[in-house]
Structure 1
Amino acid sequence: MKFLADMGISLRTVFWLRSSGYDVVHLRDEGLQKLPDDQILVKARTEERILLTVDLDFAQLLATSGDNLPSVILFRLGNENYNAINERLTEVLRECQADLELGAIISVSNETFRIRRLPI
C-alpha cells in the first residue's frame, strides 16, 4: 500500500509508516503544503495512494465526485497526536486492506471506524 499524508498528519506518522515498510509521501516532502484539496485528491489517485487526513473536506469532495478512488482514511479522534493516529491506523490497515484497495472512505474515531465503499 502507498500513502499520501495531508498536512494534518504528523511527520512522525510518516516516519513510522516508512519504518514499517510502506511507501509514504507527505505533502510537505514535495513542497505542496498549499495544494488545493481537489488537486490533492488528483495526486493521490494518479499516484495510486491512499490519502491520510484529518480534514472532512476530502470525504465530501470524493463522495460528490462519483469516483471510486483514491481511498481516504479520515481520522476523527479526540486526540489527533501521532501516537493515537498510529495506534488506530494499525487496526484499520489490518482489518480494511481489501476495502482500501477497492476504494473506500474510512472514518476513524477513538473506538470504532466506519467504512463507506466508493462510489457513494
Structure 2
Amino acid sequence: MRILIDMNLSPIWAQYLQELGIEAIHWINVGNANDPDKIIFDYASANNYIVFTNDLDFGTILAATNANAPSVFQLKSQDLLPKSIGEMVINCLNQYENYLKEGSLITFDTNKVRVRILPLK
C-alpha cells in the first residue's frame, strides 16, 4: 500500500504510517503546498498512490472524471492526528486494503466507514 498524504493533513501522518511499515509520503515532499487538488490527484494516479485526505474535493474529482484511480481515503473527524485516531485508521486501512487496491473511495468516520467502488456513478 502506497499512501500520499494531502496538504490538509499533518506530515506527522507520514512518519506514523512509515513506522508501521506502510509506504507513505506527504505532498509537501513531492510538490508545492499550493498545488491544486487535480495535480495531487493526477500524481497519485500516475504513481499508484492512495490519496489520504480530509478534503471532500477528491471525491468530487472522482465523480466528475468517472476515474478508476486513484483510491481516496477521506478522514472525517474533529481530531485528525494519529495519536488520537491512528489505530482506528490503521485497522480500517487493513480491513479495506483490497478495496483500496482495486479502486475505491473510503470515507472514515470514528463512528462508521463508507466504501464506494470506483468508478463512481
Same fold, TM exceeding 0.5?
A: yes
Partner of 1:61: 61
Aligned-residue offset at 1:31:
4.2
1:25 aligned onto 2:25: yes
Aligned residue number for residue 98 of structure 1: 98
Q: How does 1:12-51 map to 2 (within 5 A)?
A: 12-51=12-51
Q: Which residue of 2 aligns with 1:81?
A: 81
Whether 1:4 and 2:28 are equivalent positions in the alignment is no
TM-score using structure 1 length: 0.93
% same residue:
29
Unaligned 5+ segments in structure 2 are none
Assess if the C-alpha contact under 8 Å between 1:104 and 1:117 holds in 2: yes
Identify unmatched segments of 5+ residues in structure 1: none
CA contact (8 A) 2:13 2:81 kept: no
Counterpart residue type for residue 79 of structure 1: D
Q: CA deviation at 1:20?
A: 1.3
SS in 1 for 2:18: helix
Alignment coverage as a number of residue pairs: 120
State TM-score, norm by structure 2.
Answer: 0.92
Question: Does the 8 Å contact 1:13/1:85 carry over to 2?
Answer: no
What are the Cα deviations for residues 57-101 of structure 1, in whole angstroms up to 9, with x where unaligned? 111111111111100000011222232341232121121011000
Q: Helix, strand or coil: the match of 2:3?
A: strand
| Distance (Å, rounded) in 1 between the aligned partners of 2:81 and 2:25 | 18
CA RMSD of aligned residues (A): 1.2
Instruction: Provide the residue aligned with 1:118 in structure 2.
Output: 118
